[in-house]
Structure 1
Amino acid sequence: MDMLFGKQYLIDKTQLPEDQQGLYCRAGLVIEGSLVICQRCGERHRKSDVQLPSQCYYCPSCSRYGRITSEDVLCWQEHRLQPMAHQIVFPGPLTPFQKALSDRLVKHYQAGRSMLVWSVTGSGKTEMIFETIAAARKKGERVAIVSPRIDVCRELYPRIQQAFPNEDCLLLHGDSEEPYRYTNLLVATTHQLLHFYQSFPLIIVDEVDAFPYEGDRQLHYGLQHALSETGCLVYLSATPSDRLLKEIKGRFEIEKMPLRFHQRPLIVPQLCWIERWRQLDQRKKWRRPLINIMRRLAEKNFVLVFCPSIPYMERMAALVANELSDYIVSSVSSKDPQREEKVLAARQQQFQILFTTMILERGVTFESVSVVVLGANHSIYTKSALVQIAGRVDRKGAFHHGEVLFCYNQMTTAIRQAITEIKHMNQLAERWLADEM
């Protein structure tokens, strides 16, 4: 039964082992009157809607994780306390601002207080949580670092491995090549927390405002049940939603970081009017301004072009590749079987222009990059998304005069709010630097 350490598994009641020493179980589904309540995902269903021919019940809401029925139990064994003192390997020294915030996070954790780190893109928020992770591991506590996005998890995993080289760490998501095993450090998508029950005294949620976690009851349920009874949460976000701020008010400590580690200001987006951005494939003269923009930006930087849909992205990538044949142009989306390879190739600057969807909105870093948002007034681009997209530029390395262009044909509240928030954070950063001097 060692496989049960630290994770809950579905077992048919008739298959329970005779020796249940150290084994904890709870019903997979609970019946309350006319309702069936799933203990794995928290969803409720009417009995008449989820009854099987065998007369037992099932939960359709989380069936993608394996069907759970009223004949199943969720079983687990308590995790092992394995204290480890770490000499953290930082990729570079923390700035005085980062160190001060890191120290405050450790104090909040040691006092049992959950916290939100409201930190601008490129501020080094991952590095600022290392000392909190080390404090948890010194006590023998298990830590999960999770995110709603697979790409963010893939970027986090090697950074956690590098910082804690003596600690076994596992990367877990729906497409994981490595099967589950017990580790004291886990990097995973938020979906994976549905497989755990009171397993982690510390859970760090990177990009807590990102789709699909934002507003998803099932994922919220999974997070709360994976957290131990006295555990702490650390939320990381550059763009916390009003809903999140209201939800945590009075319960979480809020720590702001308006400075990027290199202390340069956030790049303020430029507005670029393109009247017929939706029909650029129909007439060459309509797309001439965009082609000129692409050529100008690509002469000095890698160009990342965000599109509001996959079909539109594919059309525009083909057009630009044809008209700028002297540049290497590609595209990537969530449906691309070569998604991981293309993102890696982009980091290695094998492309000069890469069209993409919202999958690269956050959690990924490219050097020497400029960003173009096509159709910035499209409803898919929330204020949060636009701030995150703009934050891809000038995250690390020397300044390469990267630009952010919002191409639009109608002003939206999201565009206006995104630019206002970026300017506000820059003003706050200026005050911090002035106070330090």
Structure 2
Amino acid sequence: MEELWGRRVLLTKQFSAVLDAYQTFPAMIDQGAYMRCTRCNTELLKTAILLPSGFYYCPSCIQMGRIDSSLQLIHQAEPANQTREVFLDWQGTLTPAQEEISIALCHSLAQKKPHLIHAVTGAGKTEILFEAIYRALKKGGRVALASPRVDVCLELYPRLQEVFPKETIALLYGGNEQKYTYTSLVICTTHQLLHFYHAFDFLIVDEVDSFPFQGDKKLAYAVSQATKEDSCLTYLTATPPQALLKEIQASFIISQLPARFHRRPLPEPEFIWWNHWAAHSKKGTHLGKLYQLIDQLSQKNHVLLFCPSIHLMDCLFQHVQKHFPDLQVEKVHADDDQRKEKVTKMRQHHYQLFLCTTILERGVTFENVSVIILGANHPVFTKATLVQISGRVDRKGAYNFGRVCFLYDEQTVAMKLALKEIKLNNQLARKRGLVDEL
């Protein structure tokens, strides 16, 4: 039964006829005063998770389906790899800097060593992966690209399908109604890795610094369980946390790329002071500075306006719609039922002004945009978030004078560090001869 290869899922009646050929695990393991969930490895105090039935359940991974101590998990090992034909259809070319990292990654894959690719936003990390993915598939291996963000998965899927047109690719994320089938190439959220066990020869985790992956022990456990013992684990990030770098520096091969493929410097943020920005945005008063900035930026580009909360975004949306009746204005947030459709329309240039929360801070590419971060000093905007949002500008296409504007009423350490990091990357890129001056 192929749907169980490399999987570890709840044992149900549909699998009962084949139990002799499969391995089973208790769903929960008794550890005295605690129970440990086999799926997510979370240890839980018995008194907190006791059900009226007398069994214990795991609230930590309940979004993946309820699991309790009365149940079992079932697994079948991946079959042995067999060399096969794989068709790679990509007409592009890598820059010398990209090519260097691609070769290093292929070497890590051959040697089964872990690898971190630290590359700035818009550096072309996905293209760097193509050759290594091709080699892994050709040897009969199983490959997964995982990300904490659904939007990243939705953007990766058509790109990989275009490059590997003869491969069936599984796209897995919460809420996707497509039935799971076995494939050699998988794109999924990191939560979906909780359903895999010793499955992948090559596992690539994108945006490893991103919520909810960063700091979530069960997702780190999911990664470790989803890979085979002799696999290549690869991390991708534009903003690696110092704790992560310290943790992996002795065991991972680390490649750094401080420049984008089009050889233009990263846009450096402009700090624009606007006193009492939150109060004005909610009440709709004294919005002249914001309106003037939107008017300037929309002359050359579409505008992404990042807001620190849904409530403030909803308030501001009403005000800008009234003030700019001739602009196509829309808004989006994580729980928006039309989120996917709206993001697609933004890519197709349907909206001239697009209000959003940090849900679009990474993993999405729009041509010809400028960015405004409203309340860049708000705690929700960490250094990494500010760097990622800044990286939405000038990612692809011809140069179109895109700008990054931090609106604030008090400078924060995060703002200063974000600007410093972007400047340092530009300096390093110039030193290595990777950018051309505009």
Shorter-chain TM-score category? over 0.9
AA of the residue aligned to 2:119: S
How many residues are matched?
Answer: 435
Aligned equivalent of 1:303:
303
Q: Give the distance between the partners of 1:50 and 1:115, measured in 2 at CA.
A: 38
DSSP-derived class of the 2:100 partner: helix
CA contact under 8 A between 1:116 and 1:236: conserved in structure 2? yes
Alpha-carbon offset, residue 49 of structure 1 = 2.5
Q: Deviations over 1:364-402 (max 9, x none)?
A: 011110000000000000100000000000000100000
Shift in CA distance, 394/53, structure 1 to aligned 2, threshold 3 Å: same
AA of the residue aligned to 2:213: Y
Aligned equivalent of 2:7:
7
Aligned equivalent of 2:391:
391
Aligned equivalent of 1:41:
40
Q: What pairs with 1:252-291 in structure 2 (closer than 5 Å)? A: 252-281=252-281, 286-291=286-291
Q: Give the distance between the partners of 2:78 and 2:313, measured in 1 at CA.
A: 46
Q: Relative to structure 2, which stretch is displaced further, 123-132 or 87-96?
A: 87-96
Q: Give the distance between the partners of 1:358 and 1:83, measured in 2 at CA.
A: 43
Q: What pairs with 1:27-426 in structure 2 (closer than 5 Å)? A: 27-80=26-79, 81-90=81-90, 92-281=92-281, 286-426=286-426
Q: Deviations over 1:330-353 (max 9, x none)?
A: 111112111111101111111100
CA contact under 8 A between 2:5 and 2:199: conserved in structure 1? no
CA contact under 8 A between 1:7 and 1:76: conserved in structure 2? yes
CA contact under 8 A between 2:33 and 2:46: conserved in structure 1? yes
Aligned equivalent of 2:428:
428
Q: Give the distance between the partners of 2:317 and 2:84, measured in 1 at CA.
A: 50
CA contact under 8 A between 2:87 and 2:165: conserved in structure 1? no
Shift in CA distance, 222/373, structure 1 to aligned 2, threshold 3 Å: same
Unmatched segments (≥5 aa) in structure 2: none
Q: Give the distance between the partners of 2:393 and 2:146, measured in 1 at CA.
A: 24
Q: Relative to structure 2, which stretch is displaced further, 273-282 or 100-109?
A: 273-282
CA contact under 8 A between 1:85 and 1:134: conserved in structure 2? no
Aligned equivalent of 2:16:
17
Unmatched segments (≥5 aa) in structure 1: none
Alpha-carbon offset, residue 20 of structure 1 = 3.2
CA contact under 8 A between 1:90 and 1:127: conserved in structure 2? no
Q: Give the distance between the partners of 2:228 and 2:312, measured in 1 at CA.
A: 45
Alpha-carbon offset, residue 17 of structure 1 = 3.0
Q: Relative to structure 2, which stretch is displaced further, 293-302 or 63-72?
A: 63-72
What is the TM-score normalised by the length of structure 2? 0.95
Q: Give the distance between the partners of 2:215 and 2:401, measured in 1 at CA.
A: 37
Shift in CA distance, 211/288, structure 1 to aligned 2, threshold 3 Å: same
Alpha-carbon offset, residue 283 of structure 1 = 6.2
CA contact under 8 A between 1:6 and 1:182: conserved in structure 2? no
CA contact under 8 A between 2:429 and 2:435: conserved in structure 1? no
**Percent identity of the aligned residues?**
44
Alpha-carbon offset, residue 435 of structure 1 = 11
Shift in CA distance, 183/283, structure 1 to aligned 2, threshold 3 Å: closer
RMSD: 1.8
